[in-house]
C-alpha cells in the first residue's frame, strides 16, 4: 500500500487542524505521527482511514501500482484507537468469529492461534464487557495486527497496557510489519521506536492569524 497525501487539510467548523500536508507513505515502511495533545494526530489517522472526511486536498491509495478507490480503502486497512469500541456483548470467541466474517487473519491463522498469541486463553468464553482495560487493549491490538491488511493504523497503541503488555505489543508489531505500511499516532517513544520516519503534525498547523 502506498498513500499520497496532496495539499491535505482538515477543519472542524472554522478551526483548521492541519493544512497543506503533502506527503507520501510507502509500503514496507513505518511512520510515526507526532505532536502534543490536541495537535491533530488522531484526526490525521482517521482521515487516512477514511472514517473522517478531509476538507481540502486529496488522498490517493495504491496497491502494487494500482489505484484503489477511496471507498474501497477500508478493505485494506486495520485501525486500533482508544475511541473505537469492541462489541461488549460477545465472548472473546464470538468476537473473533464475528470479526473474521469481514476480515480474514494473516498467515491463515485460526482464531484459536490468535487467542494464544494474545495470551487470552483463559478468557475464551468470557464476555468482552468483563475484560480488564488491558485485556481489551490486547484484543484490539491483536485484531488489528493479525488482520490480513496491508495498512496498519495504530493510535496510542499501548493505552492501558502494563510493562509486559508493552513488550508484547513491540514483539508482535515487529513480527508482523514486513511488507506493510504502518502508521502510529503517539507521543510515547516505546510505541513508535521502530518507525523509520517521523511526521510532526504541528509542521502543518496554519500560522495563527495576526
Using the minimum distance from each CB to ligand ATP, give the nearer residue, 146 or 192.
Answer: 192
CB burial of 42-58 (b: ≥16 within 10 Å; e: otherwise) equals bbbbbbbbbeeebeebe
Binding of residue 43 to ligand ATP (CB under 6 A)? yes
Binding of residue 2 to ligand ATP (CB under 6 A)? no
3 state SS of 160: coil
Using the minimum distance from each CB to ligand ATP, give the nearer residue, 17 or 118.
Answer: 17
Binding of residue 78 to ligand ATP (CB under 6 A)? no
Q: Which residues pair with 77 in a beta bridge?
A: 151
Out of 30, 39, 159, 176, name the contact with ligand ATP by CB under 6 A.
39
Binding of residue 37 to ligand ATP (CB under 6 A)? yes
Q: How near is the Cβ of 100 to ligand ATP at its closest, in Å?
A: 29
Question: What are the residues whose beta carbons fall under 8 Å from the beta carbon of 56, sequence distance 6 or more?
Answer: 7, 8, 9, 19
Q: Write the interaction track for ligand ATP spanning residues 97-136; mark x where CB under 6 A is met and - where it is not.
A: ----------------------------------------
Binding of residue 42 to ligand ATP (CB under 6 A)? yes
Binding of residue 38 to ligand ATP (CB under 6 A)? yes
Write the secondary structure of 25-76 as one string of H (helix), E (strand) and C (coil): ECCCCEEEEECCCCCCHHHHHHHHHCCCCCCEEEEEEEECCEEECHHHHHHH
Q: How near is the Cβ of 42 to ligand ATP at its closest, in Å?
A: 3
Binding of residue 159 to ligand ATP (CB under 6 A)? no
Using the minimum distance from each CB to ligand ATP, give the nearer residue, 146 or 169.
Answer: 169
Residue 100's closest CA among 152, 153, 139, 143?
143
Helices (H), 125-183: 133-146, 163-175
CA distance 138 to 146: 12
Q: Which residues pair with 152 in a beta bridge?
A: 78, 182
Binding of residue 40 to ligand ATP (CB under 6 A)? yes
Question: Given the rule CB under 6 A, which of 35-43, 134-142, 174-182, 188-196 is the region that contacts ligand ATP?
Answer: 35-43
Q: How near is the Cβ of 44 to ligand ATP at its closest, in Å?
A: 7
The footprint of ligand ATP (CB under 6 A) covers 12, 17, 35, 37-43
Amino acid at each position: 500500500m502506498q498513500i499520497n497525501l496532496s495539499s491535505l487539510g482538515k477543519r472542524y467548523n472554522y478551526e483548521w487542524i492541519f493544512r497543506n500536508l503533502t506527503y507520501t507513505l510507502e509500503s514496507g515502511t513505518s511512520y510515526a505521527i507526532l505532536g502534543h495533545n490536541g495537535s491533530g494526530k488522531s484526526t490525521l489517522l482517521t482521515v487516512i482511514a477514511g472514517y473522517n472526511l478531509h476538507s481540502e486536498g486529496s488522498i490517493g491509495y495504491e496497491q502494487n501500482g494500482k489505484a484503489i478507490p477511496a471507498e474501497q480503502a477500508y478493505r485494506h486497512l486495520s485501525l486500533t484507537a482508544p475511541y473505537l469500541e469492541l462489541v461488549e456483548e460477545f465472548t472473546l470467541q464470538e468476537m473473533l468469529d464475528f470479526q473474521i466474517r469481514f476480515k480474514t487473519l494473516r498467515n491463515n491463522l485460526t482464531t484459536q492461534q490468535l487467542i494464544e498469541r494474545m495470551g487470552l486463553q483463559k478468557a475464551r468464553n468470557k464476555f468482552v464487557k468483563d475484560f480488564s482495560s488491558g485485556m481489551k487493549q490486547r484484543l484490539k491490538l491483536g485484531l488489528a495486527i493479525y488482520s490480513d491488511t496491508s495498512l496498519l493504523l495504530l493510535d496510542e497503541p499501548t493505552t492501558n497496557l502494563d510493562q509486559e503488555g508493552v513488550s508484547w505489543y513491540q514483539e508482535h508489531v515487529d513480527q508482523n510489519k514486513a511488507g506493510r505500511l504502518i502508521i502510529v499516532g503517539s507521543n510515547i517513544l516505546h510505541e513508535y521506536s521502530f518507525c523509520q520516519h517521523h511526521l510532526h503534525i504541528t509542521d502543518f498547523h496554519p500560522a495563527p492569524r495576526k
